[in-house]
Amino acid sequence: MDFKDIIQDIYKNVKAMEDCGALPTYIPDLAEVDPNKFGVHITTMDCQNYGVGDCYQKFSIQSIAKVLSLILAYKLLGAKIWERVDVEPSGNAFNSLLQLEVEKGIPRNPFINAGALVIADILLSELEHPKAEFLAFVRDISNNENINYSSQIAASEKEVGFRNIALCNFIKSLGNIKNNPADVLDLYFDICSLEMHCKDLSELFLFLANNGKKITDKTPILTETQSKRINALMQTCGFYDESGEFAFRVGLTGKSGVGGGIIAIYPDKYAIAVWSPKLNKKGNSYKGMKFLEEFTSVTNLSIF
């Protein structure tokens, strides 16, 4: 299938829609992003590579980076990682403190903020230089040395991250944070500040459509079983308490971020990234969700 005309047509349709979303004002720097930005890029297993709109402008990928930190922690710990974090949909907002006390400090899944903080704690324990080694890992699996943290975004989040500070200290009190909470939070905020554009994202995440192997040289990043587990978690938990709606309307495995980005994957077929900064009430890109719903409806290429 030639995606170029399809993507162009859907892009024009969605771009013309009224955007009922809003910028995330609780992170000061994200509230300053141009709300009219909109980009899409697809990378396929048969070597198609096409983008439209603002697909080459970098943005803060935020919680999409939680997939990457989870993958590195999974490589380091193997199945033991699931002793520290569960694999169930949360049914609550991404920054909720509910459930933690009842479930003895074990976050419901690694993509809510509580779970991502535990993953950051694991990386602190397992890596000698966590920030540098995590960044090197991301650059390696993407074959892209230009990926970097945004010190400005990280600083902006640290200034207002009171809910995450509370979450981290609460989990510490329940015994599932092993390191100093201040160090865990520092790493967590840097991980979320990673900047990429849509092309970067679609190329990076294509390995999850390829059974965990790089497309370029077939180097395994994850085992096939591990890749299946990550895709399953993205399917059931990648959009917080809107994950069921995304599966129902779009039918792909994926992950969103409050920077307005979404990465979506069809195993054995493609990875597609969308960026539109205004978010719906659940914290996911309003136009990004609309685009992907129309894309899978027109192409009939979804896993459901």
Which residues are tagged catalytic? Answer: 63, 66, 188, 240, 258
Q: Give me the helix-helix angle, 113-126 and 130-142, nearest 10°.
A: 100
Between the CA of residue 233 and those of 89, 100, 128, 237, 267, what are the distances in Å?
Answer: 9, 19, 28, 5, 14
Residue 194's nearest CA partner among 38, 62, 45 is 62
Residue with tokens 């396929």: 44
Residue 198's nearest CA partner among 42, 49, 302, 63 is 42
Question: What's the rounded Cα separation, in Å, for the pair 234 and 188?
Answer: 19
Say which amino acid occupies 88. Answer: E
Please check whether residue 278 is in contact with residue 285, taking contact to mean a CB–CB distance below 8 angstroms.
yes
